[in-house]
């Protein structure tokens, strides 16, 4: 029996290693966002500093481990066998949940997930005990209600506090420095650095020292008693030191603040969030040690009262966990996907927006504009003009292809405010969500910095609401899945545990493959834009357009075949492939300003024709999508198939369409547009064929040979095919004009 539970403990630690990997991949956004977004240093340097912060923070996290043991439930009310089922359910759920969010590229909260998983698993086991009892028991005796409520309240409160504090501090800081901060940095940069470093020193050293396992009680008492003195000397010392370094060596004070802030935030992250990944396995290990010392007591009759006391956390476990986090930080691809979402929502410039606007975001933006206009009428014009001058935007100059998303003033505020709030929460033994805090601070500073302008506000607000909605979904999902897992493991026994481990491994593998493919597609889109120059834009446009036209031909042929064979799987596959192609063309169109900027100043005509080419390509893709989508719906809904005459007519249409598009592709590939007259003749022939097919269908409708669904599908295919070839011929003409203007 002891061996079986030892195996379960080993499985818990294996799951913990996996959880560290998927968890850090999501939480890396918390401490990398500001440094990467402001491009304060090379990515390697940023990662190195963050790695050191994680290793140091791991040592400070021992005090937080009590949350996993007794923060949510009362361990003395559960037997050893029940505790182990709770811990196993929590770890399986956490790995699956966090990996799903990483795959979607959305930042979620590892703190919220672990808290609600512990709550869901404990409630699940408590409900099983209540069902098996004779009465006289209630759910409240199993759950540490006051502590759980305090933790949940702290997490939710951190959202509003982080956003508000971030916005206020950023607003004040921007007024002090403005966007042209280089001149003012020499006078007040050292003071700002002194404030930032003092805040970091106080909350990391004074508050964080309480959880450090290596510090003696005397040292902690001395720090606590002399806190005000430390604050005073820190502010004076840092301010003077930074001013001297600036005067002698012209050091970049903001860069130092951002790099030190990255270190401190990574340290605070490890100190606060390490419990989310290894707290449960360590609690499981401690439980096994306590039960083993009981000398043969049955696991289902050994109450875990001892788990509620002080249980030391082995320092080796903390360092090992920190090492896994560091390795993951360097190797994880999913971490960069989550990082991109956060940076895109807080960047200063406009561009391709990932999220669609919602009615709520539109109302909020409109209300804010009205409130702002009303406020301006009350405040004297001289004051508003002075403030507006401080927020006058400035183009961020960078030698890199992609400029920084925001400047180092905002980055320093993000890191300082977030580090202070998280370290303060850690000192109170409240597992504040680092994701909530850092993300909402970044959103608050973005709002205060006018990054959410009228061109992007509705999209950014929708994005923030989507992320916050995902957080609530995390809580609900974590509770529900952990609750269900407890029932599976309780009644399925050891076999169900091993079966679920196999399922976890399989799902992790599938998500890895999916993310790798998605990342490659996204990388191809970005490289396609980045690699375009005024010298190669002609060749690039030829290869891109012809590649997608060939795929349209294949999709059209396969759609007709799918309708004939009533193969809904084939039609669904075509539909998905076309959605991917449409996304890539949309990306090119959304980034047309980048492409146009790369052209010569005197090439307005060339840029105009290039935009036309992209527009016609998008219209072609819309037409084929409007053919494939309804075809899939028709077959998937098991409507009556097209009759033989209709299939024959569609094959004629397909043959002529492929011939026409084939000539267009050949002409574009060879840059030989002498075949224009022949293409126009084929176009006229195609239009006449579509007119004839429409008349034939109307006759069939009059003779009641076909039904409504049949007629709608057939007429839709014919008319969209006509639109498709018309756009294709227009694309051919525009590409000819584009190439001619390029040669001129």
Structure tokens at 609: 């024709």
pLDDT for res 25? 66
Per-residue CA distances from 600 to 61, 603, 609, 699 (Å): 57, 5, 14, 56
Q: What is the pTM of this model?
A: 0.68
DSSP-derived 3-state class of residue 79: strand
Is residue 348 within 8 Å of 414, Cβ to Cβ?
no
Q: N- to C-terminal Cα distance for the chain?
A: 84
- The widest CA-to-CA distance across the chain, in whole angstroms, is 98
Phi and psi of 394, rounded to 5°?
A: -135, 140
Q: Which among 487, 10, 7, 22 has a CA at the least distance from the CA of 276? A: 22
Is residue 161 within 8 Å of 141, Cβ to Cβ?
no
Using CA atoms, how far apart are residues 36 and 34, in angstroms rounded to an integer? 6
Using CA atoms, how far apart are residues 508 and 490, in angstroms rounded to an integer? 24
**Spatial CB neighbours of 510, under 8 Å, sequence gap ≥ 6:** none
pLDDT for res 27? 67
Using CA atoms, how far apart are residues 418 and 163, in angstroms rounded to an integer? 10
Using CA atoms, how far apart are residues 331 and 325, in angstroms rounded to an integer? 10
**Spatial CB neighbours of 331, under 8 Å, sequence gap ≥ 6:** none
pLDDT for res 591? 63
534-743: CATH class: mainly alpha
For 15-46, give one letter per residue: b (16+ CB within 10 A) or e.
bbbbbbbbbbbbbbbbbbbbbbbbbbbeeeeb
Using CA atoms, how far apart are residues 212 and 258, in angstroms rounded to an integer? 25
pLDDT for res 651? 92
> Facing residues of 73 across strands?
143
Using CA atoms, how far apart are residues 604 and 602, in angstroms rounded to an integer? 6
Three-state secondary structure of 9-62: HHHHHHHHHHHHHHHHHHHHHHHHHHHHHHCCCCHHHHHHHHHHHHHHHHHCCH
pLDDT for res 562? 92
Left (φ > 0), alpha (ψ -120 to 50) or beta: where does 429 sit? left
Q: Which helix (H) or strand (E) holds 67?
A: none
Is residue 93 within 8 Å of 307, Cβ to Cβ?
no
Mean pLDDT by 10 residues, the chain (744 residues): 78 80 68 81 84 78 55 80 88 84 71 83 89 75 74 76 88 85 82 85 63 64 78 89 87 86 79 72 83 79 75 69 78 67 71 69 79 80 80 60 76 84 68 75 85 76 80 84 91 86 83 66 51 60 83 92 90 87 74 59 61 84 91 89 90 92 87 83 91 90 84 91 91 78 54
Encode pLDDT of 422-443 as tens digits.
767 766 666 567 777 888 888 8
**In terms of C-beta density within 10 A (0-12 exposed, 13-18 middle, 19 or more buried), how is residue 469 classed?**
exposed
Using CA atoms, how far apart are residues 39 and 567, in angstroms rounded to an integer? 50
Structure tokens at 486: 């407890």
DSSP secondary structure code for residue 139 in this structure: G
Per-residue CA distances from 594 to 101, 232, 399, 605 (Å): 31, 49, 15, 16
Domain ranges of the chain: 2-176+253-521, 534-743
Using CA atoms, how far apart are residues 130 and 736, in angstroms rounded to an integer? 78
DSSP 496-547: HHHHHHHHHHHHHHHHHHHHHHHHHHHHHHHHHHHT--TTTHHHHHHHHHHH
Per-residue CA distances from 696 to 58, 309, 708 (Å): 76, 85, 15
Helical H segments across 381-456, by residue range: 381-390, 408-427, 434-448
pLDDT for res 527? 46
Per-residue CA distances from 276 to 23, 117, 504, 743 (Å): 9, 10, 18, 61
CA angle 155/157/163 to nearest 5° reads 105
DSSP 341-364: HHHHHH-SS----SSPP-HHHHHH
Residue 709: half-sphere exposure toward Cβ, Cα within 13 Å: 13
Using CA atoms, how far apart are residues 551 and 529, in angstroms rounded to an integer? 20
Q: Which among 204, 353, 195 has a CA at the least distance from the CA of 272? A: 204
Contacts of 124-131 spanning 24+ positions with Cβ under 8 A: 124/86, 124/89, 124/482, 124/483, 124/484, 124/485, 124/486, 124/487, 125/78, 125/82, 125/85, 125/86, 125/486, 125/490, 126/73, 126/77, 128/486, 128/487, 128/490, 129/78, 129/82
Encode pLDDT of 486-515 as tens digits.
999 988 888 888 888 888 888 878 876 765
Residue 546: half-sphere exposure toward Cβ, Cα within 13 Å: 16
Left (φ > 0), alpha (ψ -120 to 50) or beta: where does 378 sit? alpha
| Residue reference for tokens 């097919």 | 693
DSSP-derived 3-state class of residue 229: helix
Using CA atoms, how far apart are residues 192 and 417, in angstroms rounded to an integer? 13
**Spatial CB neighbours of 576, under 8 Å, sequence gap ≥ 6:** none
For 49-59, give one letter per residue: b (16+ CB within 10 A) or e.
bbbebbbbbbb
Is residue 479 within 8 Å of 117, Cβ to Cβ?
yes
């Amino acid at each position: 029996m002891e061996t079986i539970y030892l195996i379960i403990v080993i499985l818990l630690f294996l799951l913990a290693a996996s959880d560290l990997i998927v968890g850090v991949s999501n939480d890396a956004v918390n401490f990398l966002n500001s440094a990467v977004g402001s491009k304060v240093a090379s990515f390697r340097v940023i990662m190195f500093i963050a790695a050191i912060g994680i290793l140091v923070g791991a040592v400070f996290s021992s005090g937080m481990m009590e949350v996993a043991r007794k923060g949510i439930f009362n361990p003395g009310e559960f037997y050893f066998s029940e505790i182990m089922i709770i811990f196993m359910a929590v770890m399986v759920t956490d790995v699956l949940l966090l990996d799903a969010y990483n795959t979607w590229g959305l930042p979620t909260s590892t703190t919220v997930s672990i808290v609600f998983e512990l709550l869901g698993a404990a409630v699940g086991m408590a409900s099983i005990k209540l069902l098996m009892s004779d009465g006289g028991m209630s759910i409240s005796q199993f759950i540490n209600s006051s502590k759980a409520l305090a933790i949940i309240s702290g997490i939710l409160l951190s959202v509003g506090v982080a956003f508000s504090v971030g916005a206020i501090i950023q607003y004040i800081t921007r007024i002090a420095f403005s966007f042209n901060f280089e001149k003012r940095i020499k006078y007040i940069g050292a003071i700002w650095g002194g404030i930032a470093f003092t805040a970091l020193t106080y909350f990391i050293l004074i508050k964080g020292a309480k959880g450090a396992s290596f510090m003696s009680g005397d040292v902690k008492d001395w720090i606590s008693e002399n806190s005000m003195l430390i604050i005073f000397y820190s502010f004076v010392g840092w301010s003077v030191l930074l001013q001297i370094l600036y005067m002698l060596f012209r050091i970049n004070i903001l860069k130092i603040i951002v790099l030190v802030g990255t270190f401190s935030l990574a340290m605070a992250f490890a100190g606060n969030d390490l419990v989310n990944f290894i707290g449960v396995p360590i609690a499981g290990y401690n439980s096994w040690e306590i039960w083993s010392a009981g000398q043969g007591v049955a696991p289902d009759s050994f109450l875990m009262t001892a788990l509620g006391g002080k249980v030391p956390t082995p320092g080796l476990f903390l360092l090992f966990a920190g090492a896994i986090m560091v390795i993951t930080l360097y190797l994880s691809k999913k971490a960069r996907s989550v990082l991109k979402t956060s940076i895109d929502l807080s960047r200063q410039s406009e561009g391709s927006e990932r999220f669609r606007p919602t009615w709520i975001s539109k109302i909020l933006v409109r209300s804010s504009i009205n409130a702002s206009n009303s406020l301006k009428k009350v405040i004297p014009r001289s004051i508003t003009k002075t403030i507006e001058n401080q927020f006058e935007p400035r183009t961020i100059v960078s030698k890199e292809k992609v400029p920084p998303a925001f400047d180092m003033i905002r980055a320093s505020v993000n890191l300082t405010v977030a580090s202070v709030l998280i370290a303060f929460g850690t000192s109170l033994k409240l597992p504040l969500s680092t994701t909530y805090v850092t993300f909402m601070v970044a959103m608050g500073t973005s709002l205060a910095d006018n990054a959410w302008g009228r061109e992007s506000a509705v999209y950014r607000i929708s994005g923030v609401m989507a992320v916050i909605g995902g957080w609530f979904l995390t809580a609900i999902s974590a509770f529900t899945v952990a609750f269900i897992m407890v029932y599976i493991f309780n009644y399925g026994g050891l076999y169900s545990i091993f079966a679920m481990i196999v399922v976890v491994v399989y799902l992790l593998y599938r998500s890895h493959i999916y993310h790798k493919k998605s990342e490659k597609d996204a990388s191809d889109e970005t490289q396609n834009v980045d690699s375009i120059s005024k010298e190669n834009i002609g060749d690039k446009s030829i290869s891109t357009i012809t590649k997608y036209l060939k795929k349209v031909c294949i999709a059209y042929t396969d759609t007709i075949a799918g309708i004939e064979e009533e193969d809904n799987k084939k039609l669904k596959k075509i539909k998905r492939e076309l959605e991917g192609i449409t996304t890539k063309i949309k990306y090119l169109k959304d980034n047309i300003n980048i492409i146009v900027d790369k052209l010569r100043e005197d090439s307005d005509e060339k840029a105009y024709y290039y935009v036309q080419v992209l527009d016609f390509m998008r219209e072609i893709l819309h037409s084929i999508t409007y053919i494939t989508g309804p075809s899939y719906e028709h077959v998937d809904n098991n409507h009556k198939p097209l009759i033989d005459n209709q299939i024959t007519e569609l094959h004629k249409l397909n043959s002529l369409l492929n011939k026409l598009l084939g000539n267009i592709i050949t002409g574009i590939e060879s840059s030989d547009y002498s075949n224009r007259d022949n293409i126009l003749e084929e176009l006229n022939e195609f239009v006449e064929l579509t007119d004839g097919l429409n008349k034939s269908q109307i006759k069939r409708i009059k003779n009641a040979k076909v039904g409504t669904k049949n007629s709608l599908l057939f007429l839709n295919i014919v008319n969209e095919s006509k639109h498709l070839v018309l756009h294709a011929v227009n694309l051919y003409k525009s590409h000819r004009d584009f190439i001619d203007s390029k040669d001129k």
